[in-house]
Amino acid sequence: MTQRVRKILHADCDCFYAAVEMRDDPSLREIPIAIGRSREHRGVIATCNYPARTYGIHSAMPTARALRLCPHLTLLPGDFDKYREVSRQIQAIFHELTPLVEPLSLDEAFLDVTDVEGFQGSATWMAQWLKRECLARTGITVSVGVAPSKFLAKIASDWDKPDGLTVIPPERVEGFVESLPVTKLHGVGPATGARLEALEIATCADLRRQPLERLLEEFGKFGHRLYELARGIDERPVKVERERKSVSVESTFDRDLPDLETARAALAPLCERLEERLARHGHPPLTGIFVKVRFDDFNLTTLESRGLATDLASYRSLLEQAWARAHRPVRLLGVGVRLLPEGARQQLSLPI
């Protein structure tokens, strides 16, 4: 019996927050804009439009650096209630096509359209319809990748941005993957990318030449994942329900917190905000707490504990240990909790 080939779409709105602002104010379309805090505050860029990207600006870049690259950059504070509403409209269109939708954020999602009978079963026609409907109903352009797997569909959606549509049919997977840079593989971040480069592994063709045993020796369990991805193998299903693993809050300060005592004082309002957020989630069962600290040199450290309560004293204890790692001024501080996995919660609720 021939195995049915999956049809996966990855839909990704182009510069989403900025796109909503340009839709509502067409005068912004041709000038570099970014969503971020004002010049008087510190923070990072949430997203920017394509004119801004020609200056080298990108999301998660410190706002101060973005302004150095483009002094005439227009900074907008962002209206996240509006963005969430547009996202809801776009997600509703996704669900008109298939119930198998896995949202990744406000502006992107995976869709499994394997069993969709409309459009004569053509995933390409489905992608064209999706792009057309999103633009017509919301004014937002969406880039879509079509492939037999999630990791290839995500790569394809980014292949021809903005307003792109890239299809990788099953017969093209082998050739496409072979020439793919290893840095494009799902799960390969800067550290793993640097290790692969040190091993003179630049493309998936290079990766395929490595025995599985060597990859396991170099990368542990992830070596097996690399072995599969280099061959286009990715059987991850589209998950309709995404399990939340943590709840947290954080603040980037307008001025660095100069010492531990000042950082301690900043914890109380963060803990209050965290408690409010946990209340909205119904106080779910926890497995631990954590503190996140970014120092003035942009180094980030996170310290966790499974044995402490979610009170101010516990977070202060973790902060003191985290601060001791660098003894530097603090630009960002965050507090959070790790949640008990859903499966374990169900076990706890079973009658004895």
Positions at the binding site for Mg(2+): 12, 107
Question: Is the preceding omega at residue 269 within 30 degrees of 0, hence cis?
Answer: no
Torsion of CA 215, 150, 131, 108, to 10 degrees: -80
* Per-residue burial over 181-217, b = 16 or more CB atoms within 10 Å of its CB, e = otherwise: ebebbeebeeebbeebeebebebbebbeebeeeebee
120 contacts: CB under 8 Å, gap ≥ 6: none
Using alpha carbons, list the distances in angstroms from residue 290 to 7, 170, 250, 335, 341. 39, 44, 12, 6, 17
DSSP 8-state assignment for residue 44: B
Catalytic site residue 108?
yes
From 148, 160, 207, select the one nearest 3 (Cα to Cα).
148
Which residues line the annotated binding site? Answer: 12, 107
Strands 246-257 and 300-305: unpaired
Q: Could you tell me how many residues make up the chain?
A: 352
Phi, psi of 131 (to 5 degrees): -60, -45
Q: Which amino acid is at 157?
A: S
Q: How far is CA 104 from CA 114, 211, 257, 318, in A?
A: 19, 33, 33, 30
Cβ count near 292 (within 10 Å): 19
The one catalytic residue in 40, 108, 235, 320 is 108
CA distance 13 to 19: 8
Catalytic residues: 108
